[in-house]
Amino acid sequence: MKIYLVGGAIRDRLLGLPVTERDWVVVGTTPEEMLKLGYRPVGKNFPVFLHPKTHEEYALARTERKIAKGYKGFKFYADPGVTLEEDLKRRDLTVNAIAEATDGTLIDPFDGQKDIEQKILRHVSSAFAEDPVRILRIARFAARFGGFSIHATTMQLMQNMVAAGEVAALVPERVWQELYRTLTLPTPERFFTILNDCGALAILFPELILHYKIALKRLKNAAAVTTSATIRFTALVNILDIAALKTLCARAKVPAEFRDLALLVIKYQGNFDNALDLSAEELLTTLEQLDAFRRPKRFADFMLACAAHKKQQYHAQVERFKLAHTKARQVLAAPLLRQGLKGNEIKQEMHRLRVESIKAQ
């Protein structure tokens, strides 16, 4: 029984990046032996165990065989006879197919270290084409490691996968998972560049195709001023009309938080841009439509999202909306209740008083 550190921990260390998690592969043993040593099983489709003390993942060395279309169509084979190199060969990219022995020796049968030095993302073997999730992963890696390029043969393989219909087999939840992770990365626009280059964008996010370059420019601008995934997503889809946005969000199962902020920005971007020309009545009506008094955090996100996707200064517009919001919030319902007003009377009088308060700013 031999244990090796594998994958991202080695890659990130060689890149001089912080190592946040470690994965291990175990060669020459059985599930029964792992259980005897106190490891806890967690894998459903193949033997993966948690270390009894560190709780890090230890997977038995395995091979896999494609038996159906899509990313779930695999049969895994774990056996004490499976070698470390066989296990590494099933991995996606050479930079992720490096192992480290307990004495610190690196095992690198596919020249992953060389590709790290040359900043190249390259597939390990033709088995890459069997899993469409790998298209999303390599696009995400490109977004994370901005200086890396995708090897020409790997891009051709990805294009072949798209042509073969593999991407269409991806479930929305997995697509969103990769997109969400990408939206937090340094250069998220590269994710969409890679998807477009291989032809997957037209299948996964067809709504973005028409104004693709503008969408990526807006995403890049937003990424320069905020790390918020919600606001970055809003900047990306700000080119869409309401119907297209709803279609994209429904198909990709985008969480309501992301969808709702994007909808508000599409509806009221014009009000924000023209804030300096809005009357007190128009400012208050916009604040009410944004539900700004009950949801001040989303209101703040709305203003940032309206400004983030353009390389312009919106300080005056932000301050106009913020001051109107502050003034309007100072009008309370309690005094109106003491006057004997009820229901819609209170609503109408609060609206009138808030308009007057905003006018006085």
What confidence tens digit (pLDDT) does each residue in 327-340 have? 999 998 888 888 88
Which tokens in the block code for residue 113? Answer: 């270290």
Burial of 246 (0-12, 13-18, 19+ CB in 10 A): middle
Rg (CA), the chain: 26
Within a domain: residue 79? yes
Within a domain: residue 52? yes
What is the arithmetic mean of pLDDT over 85-109? 95
End residue of a domain, out of 94, 112, 130: 112
Within a domain: residue 28? yes
Task: Supply the pLDDT for residue 335.
Answer: 86
Residue 198 has pLDDT above 90, yes or no: yes
What is the arithmetic mean of pLDDT over 210-239? 94
Which tokens in the block code for residue 361? Answer: 């700013």
For the segment 144-174, what is each residue's pLDDT rounded down to a tens digit? Answer: 998 999 999 999 999 999 999 999 889 999 9
Within a domain: residue 309? yes
Which tokens in the block code for residue 307? Answer: 């400004």
Residue with tokens 């297209």: 244
Within a domain: residue 162? no
Task: Supply the pLDDT for residue 341.
Answer: 85
Task: Supply the pLDDT for residue 45.
Answer: 67
CA 101 to chain centroid: 33
Within a domain: residue 74? yes
Query: Which domain, by its residues, includes 277?
Result: 251-361
Q: How many CA atoms lie within 13 A of 156 on its CB side?
A: 4
End residue of a domain, out of 87, 112, 137: 112
Within a domain: residue 219? no
Within a domain: residue 70? yes
Task: Supply the pLDDT for residue 314.
Answer: 81
Mean pLDDT of the chain, nearest integer:
91
End residue of a domain, out of 86, 112, 138: 112
DSSP 165-195: T-GGG--HHHHHHHHHHHHTSS-THHHHHHH
Taking the C-alpha atoms of residue 299 and residue 271, their distance in angstroms, rounded to an integer, is 13
Task: Supply the pLDDT for residue 67.
Answer: 43
- Outline where DSSP puts E strands in 22-82: 23-27, 40-41, 48-50, 57-60, 62-66, 74-78
Q: Please tell me which of 44-53, 54-63, 191-200 the model is most confident about, judged by mean pLDDT.
A: 191-200
Taking the C-alpha atoms of residue 25 and residue 8, their distance in angstroms, rounded to an integer, is 13
Task: Supply the pLDDT for residue 46.
Answer: 72
CATH assignment of the domain containing 97:
3.30.460.10
For the segment 225-239, what is each residue's pLDDT rounded down to a tens digit? Answer: 999 999 999 999 999
Task: Supply the pLDDT for residue 70.
Answer: 47
Is the separation of the CB atoms in 266 and 239 below 8 Å? Answer: no
Count structural domains, the chain.
Answer: 2
